[in-house]
Structure 1
């Protein structure tokens, strides 16, 4: 890219968390606009990813960056600093390669990088390395601060388990967890029911029937909003029930479930227990986990409670956190896919039509077996296995990442990549392995 010949550019800004010391999205874009105006470049679009961590997400998985790449032709992408695009060296290089493939270059306002020369590219990579080092340093500081809070018996932040709340620390600075007197009796009875042998679904129905408030202060707005199996299962697996603290507290409510026995321990390896928070003993908690685990798989349920599901997504979608295939199942008699490890779920009632629409819209005209994808799909009719073969033939990868519990279908959870389109005859290309049937 020759910066003296650039005429059209796109602006990109990203921010993880808005804080006083952060350079806001608006300030980033303002600096990028001034840069473009000073060089007489035409701005064809402004794209942002607000509240998105560059450490957690790759550029190609972000909504704003994907929208930028799908826009009309541009010659350059202007960012404020290299770390606004990526905090991992490989992520930065992959994003830069994507821009190069479409004949565009990368420009940073605060980092004088020139991606057209070997020296400039080396300097840009060094900046990306420093960004990755800074991210690692931030993580180390957060881990150290959290460890100190736990050692002092204080609340380390994050989601609060149902039946508990945070309160001012009576013995010093910070906050501590205490029982929520308005909700603890619902939790205590739910645990007692499970220990007596009640199924998780039965506990969920009871909580709904008696009008127990939903987690997070949620209120019922329509009649069909109720407690569900996943929420109750998470509630019953939280080690705080025995007064123990999860090894990695502070996870958001939508984050994956941790090992219930991965708890904070003392120098002798024994769990640290706060009796003031416990509703059961450690032995009762362990027994509860064994009961839940024995009923965790669909095969453990009564045959009358099982429901056959469509094989359309069998061994197709992977959990982005655990990198394992998501399984078919049902929740309240509605079809879902779920991760067998972290238990995240996604309703198929909306997801299947969404996936089919994208397949036919984005790949319908692609050649497939002497016809097109659209033709083969139509010929498959209601044969779910035949439809699955059509889908798999076009997929490079399909990954599902976590969303917020209770939120309606969010397409940002779906990380979908189609296979590369066939190149002209005589042009070599790397082959992509088929997904297993």
Structure 2
């Protein structure tokens, strides 16, 4: 039966790019709109355009059309466009606005640069009611307005706030229905012998038969690699050695690791059966999907027959170690902070059980066998804590806050108006120029107004970020929050600690030296910004 792989066919299709969508007429219209924007007054409201699209189809609105429509809407409202946040292939259900690559940067870091957030339609902007409420709170806090071209949304009125909540509820219901349909499709697909949807297991790829039905076929190079690994396992070869041999033979990518290879070799899908992820036990595994009679569901030709596969697993078990269960959180208290001086990879705590004793070593991921094992990781952690406290402990904790310039702008406008009034009335024929007393009093008042105007910092008239000290040092904060708080701050700031291990003759444990690497702009990075991980901005 003739087959052709879908991967090859897809590779021939032209990848979608926004640039390819712009026609000459679109570009001409864009320039026309920009010229019209240039004629707006200097104090015109500043608009940020939000363009989002999950998947481009014939039924969706292209990013180009969204942007042009939004530019027209901004011009109709007398707003000057200061930026376009274009997030394509992004689900509004899964990714809230503040976590999108472009829009998130504007919301989190560039809020002072715009006054109005303009989007094409509410469901193009947001699809969860909780996310919508968070955005409304954010807009009210920072003095921004949310505007939709195709929905009656205006946060400056009570009716507008109610309307945006109702529309957001409808959008969430629609998103929930879509999620339910997708979940139902997956549940149905798992019970079928035909391959309907999903990513094939390693060793297989998708193809089309003569009737253009999607089927799974064995990938030749993967088949060769898997049977090679089976023969090596029979001889007692380790997974690490298998990875080296596979890479040398060109049958594996440079990114293949022993852990990934073990997971691939233990996948029951290699017998041609349907599998699903087993989420129990804290270890990533696949398990067979059984039909109503309790039998595995075949979906493809087997790479290993059942007896071959189980013999293979027994050979792999002979090399496996009874390792303790992975600790919650991370493999080390400073994961991502400690790096090996030789291979520059992260260092983790490896725990081995020998009989009834547990041994812990600090090892890297790139050196052979993890490099020289460094015992007593707690002592190394304590040395890092001491070094960090001596350098950063006395730095004040500062929190970034949003300062609005509306009050200062109103004050400046009032003073300028008063100054202009007194200057005009002091001119010949003015009300303060008629007598010496009134002139002197007016000049004294004018001087006071000019002095008061000069004392106002122009920066305070603009919306801006300011850093406010909370009265604590990082030493105090870390004493309260413990090592977890320190580790999180070090990762946030970009602080790293190079670990150098040197073999000492006559000793089993190597000599360990730490070198703290702190970015030059660490003070700016230490400033605490609002945490968006809790589902709000």
- The equivalent residue for 1:41 is 79
Moved more, 189-198 or 40-49: 189-198
1:9-56 CA-partner distances (Å, limit 9, x unpaired): 111111112222121222211111110011111111111111111222
In structure 1, the partner of 2:335 is 313
Number of the residue aligned with 1:219: none
SS at match of 2:84: strand
Range with greater deviation from structure 2 (182-191 or 92-101): 182-191
Distance 1:285 1:29 in 2: 60
Name the structure 1 match of 2:157. Answer: 117
Distance 2:90 2:132 in 1: 16
Partner of 2:310: 284
What's the CA shift for 1:207? 0.7
Q: Is the 8 A contact 1:186 1:207 kept in 2?
A: yes
- Asked whether the 8 Å contact 1:76–1:104 carries over to 2, the reply is yes
* Contact 1:178/1:277 (8 A) holds in 2: no
Q: Note the 1:288-367 alignment, pairs <5 A.
A: 291=317, 294-295=320-321, 297=323, 311-313=333-335, 330-333=364-367
More contact order relative to length (CA 8 Å, sep ≥ 6): 2
Q: What is the alpha-carbon distance in structure 2 between the residues aligned to residue 136 and residue 397 of structure 1?
A: 38
Q: Partner residue of 2:142?
A: 102
Contact 1:162–1:187, Cα closer than 8 Å, also in 2: no
2:117, 2:145 within 8 Å by CA — same for their partners in 1? Answer: yes
TM-score (norm: length of structure 2): 0.52
Q: Is the 8 A contact 1:76 1:106 kept in 2?
A: yes
- Change in Cα spacing, 1:417 to 1:294, as seen in structure 2 (3 Å) is farther
Residues 192 and 16 of structure 1, relative CA distance in 2, 3 Å threshold: farther
CA 1:206–1:366 in structure 2 vs 1: closer, same or farther (change >3 Å)?
farther
Is the CA contact 2:45–2:79 (under 8 Å) kept in the aligned structure 1?
yes
Q: Which has the higher helix share?
A: 2
Q: 1:15 aligns with which of 37, 53, 56?
A: 53
Q: What's the counterpart of residue 266 of structure 1?
A: 291
- Over the aligned positions, Cα root-mean-square deviation in angstroms equals 4.7
Q: Is 2:132 the partner of 1:132?
A: no
**In the alignment, which of 215, 219, 224 is matched to residue 176 of structure 1?**
215
- Deviation of 1:313 (Å): 3.5
Matched, 1:198 2:198: no
* Structure 1 position 189 matched with structure 2 position 228: yes
1:84 aligns with 2:124: yes
Corresponding residue for residue 261 of structure 2: 232
CA distance in 1, matches of 2:53, 2:269: 33
Calculate the TM-score normalised by the size of structure 1: 0.62
> Which entry has the higher C-alpha Rg, 1 or 2?
2
Distance 1:50 1:243 in 2: 36
Deviations 1:196-221 (A, max 9, x none): 6433212211211222143xxxxxxx
1:54-69 equivalence runs, <5 A: 54-69=92-107
